[in-house]
């Protein structure tokens, strides 16, 4: 028994060490990724239910490692956040998305709103609103076509976050709360943060498997009702099935996003979607 315990402890140490090495490897790879052009932005359509129009795109970063191929965001974003690399990466994604949105406008497509994910660590930057404002004017994009998606976290300095959000709002951009319902104090944030939109987390949308079962749909319905009362726009993400689509239409959710319409795709393929949905 003693030997077995010893082996288990050894296996544990080895696993810890492997994880630490993997983290270091990701970190050093990420440091080079921007300059080497290994990062790319994919876009996922957001569709307005009432009109069926493609009205927005969420920008999602992709990293193609020269040897390992695509590294999932769930693997490298946490490392980027821990090391602070999310700041230059986040700014690069923001600039890319704003430039792309402007380029689509210039090509004659009906303007859409780009949503860019903002890591909590980016709130540490002293001049976040100034940085975002500079990117907008550099790209020539009107601020109402940019939205930032934020998530709540325990680590967040609430007073500072509210200040930064107010600065961002003054620019004229939109603010959305991502993964709504999964945080630890979503409801109080709705009152305190100057936000325009909430995104229902995909875990709740996934629960709409049997739309006749009240237990599966209660949370989604409640979030939509809260949004309506507070006059916030509401987006459901992770919409995959006809059943989910039908349910969300009955509940009059404002916007939908998910594989039901399209996965996130490279900019050239997104342009094809813009053509299919037609421009006014
Ligand atoms: P998120 O912001 O909640 O993004 C939505 C995720 O759900 C994306 O995963 C998207 O590909 C996936 N998704 C979209 N539709 C469906 C669907 O119908 N079914 C399912 N099962 N999944 C769907 P992705 O691109 O792997 O990103 C994962 C997370 O990584 C994001 O979650 C976000 O938290 C983070 N992330 C991605 N790009 C960025 C970025 O540029 N900056 C920051 N700070 N975080 C990012
Ligand atoms: Ca998001
Ligand atoms: Ca989300
Ligand atoms: Ca998420």
Residue 280 has pLDDT above 60, yes or no: no
Q: ipTM of the predicted structure?
A: 0.97
pTM of the model: 0.93
Query: How much distance in Å is there from the Cα of 199 to the middle of ligand 2?
Result: 8
Q: Tell me the helices (H) and strands (E) count for the chain, helix number first.
A: 10, 9
Contact assessment for residue 271 and residue 104, using Cβ atoms and an 8 Å cutoff: yes
- Pocket, ligand 1, Cβ cutoff 6 A: 44, 60-61, 72-74, 77, 86, 90, 93, 117, 119, 178-179, 202, 237-240, 258-259, 264
In the DSSP assignment, the letter for residue 109 is: P
**Lookup: tokens for 26:** 């990701």
Three-class secondary structure of residue 237 per DSSP: strand
Which residues surround the ion ligand 3 when the cut-off is CB under 5 Å?
Answer: 178-179
| More reliable by pLDDT, 240 or 186 | 240
* pLDDT of the residue at 185: 64
148 phi/psi in degrees, rounded to 5: -110, 135
pLDDT at position 123, please? 86
User: Ligand 2 centre from 146 Cα, in Å?
Assistant: 13
Average pLDDT over residues 72-96: 96
Whether the Cβ atoms of residue 117 and residue 152 lie closer than 8 Å to each other: no
Distance 105 CA to ligand 3 centre (A): 26
| 230-241: average pLDDT | 96
Residue 278 pLDDT more than 70? no
Average pLDDT value for the chain: 91
For the CA of 116, the nearest atom of ligand 1? 41
pLDDT of residue 1: 47
More confident residue, 190 or 167: 167
Closest CA to 152 of 222, 223, 94, 201: 201
Q: Taking 90 as the threshold, does the pLDDT of residue 132 lie above it?
A: yes
Residue 102 pLDDT greater than 70, yes or no: yes
**CA separation, residue 260 to residues 134, 144, 153, 247 (Å):** 36, 27, 29, 13
Q: Give the span between the Cα atoms of 84 and 170, in whole angstroms.
A: 26
Dihedral sign of CA atoms 95, 262, 212, 51 in order: positive
């Amino acid at each position: 028994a003693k030997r077995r315990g010893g082996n288990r402890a050894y296996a544990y140490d080895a696993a810890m060490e492997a994880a630490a090495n993997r983290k270091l490897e990701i970190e050093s790879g990420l440091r080079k990724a921007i300059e080497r052009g290994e990062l790319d932005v994919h876009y996922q359509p957001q569709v307005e239910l009432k009109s069926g129009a493609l009205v927005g795109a969420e920008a999602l970063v992709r990293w193609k490692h020269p040897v390992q191929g695509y590294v999932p965001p769930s693997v490298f974003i946490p490392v980027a956040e821990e090391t602070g690399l999310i700041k230059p990466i986040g700014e690069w994604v923001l600039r890319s998305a704003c430039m792309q949105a402007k380029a689509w406008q210039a090509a004659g497509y009906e303007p859409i709103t780009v949503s860019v994910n903002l890591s909590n660590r980016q709130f540490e930057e002293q001049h976040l609103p100034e940085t975002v404002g500079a990117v907008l004017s550099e790209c020539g994009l009107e601020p109402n076509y940019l939205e930032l998606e934020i998530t709540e976290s325990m680590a967040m300095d609430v007073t500072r976050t509210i200040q930064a959000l107010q600065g961002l709002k003054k620019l004229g951009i939109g603010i959305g709360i991502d993964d709504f319902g999964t945080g630890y104090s979503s409801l109080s944030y709705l009152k305190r943060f100057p936000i325009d939109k909430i995104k229902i987390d995909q875990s709740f949308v996934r629960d709409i498997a049997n739309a006749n079962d009240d237990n599966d749909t209660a949370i989604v319905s409640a979030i939509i009702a809260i949004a309506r009362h507070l006059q916030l726009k509401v987006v459901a993400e992770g919409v995959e099935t006809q059943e989910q689509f039908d349910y969300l239409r009955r509940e009059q959710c404002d916007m939908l996003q998910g594989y039901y319409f399209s996965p996130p795709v490279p900019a050239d393929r997104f342009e094809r979607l813009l053509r299919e949905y037609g421009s006014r």
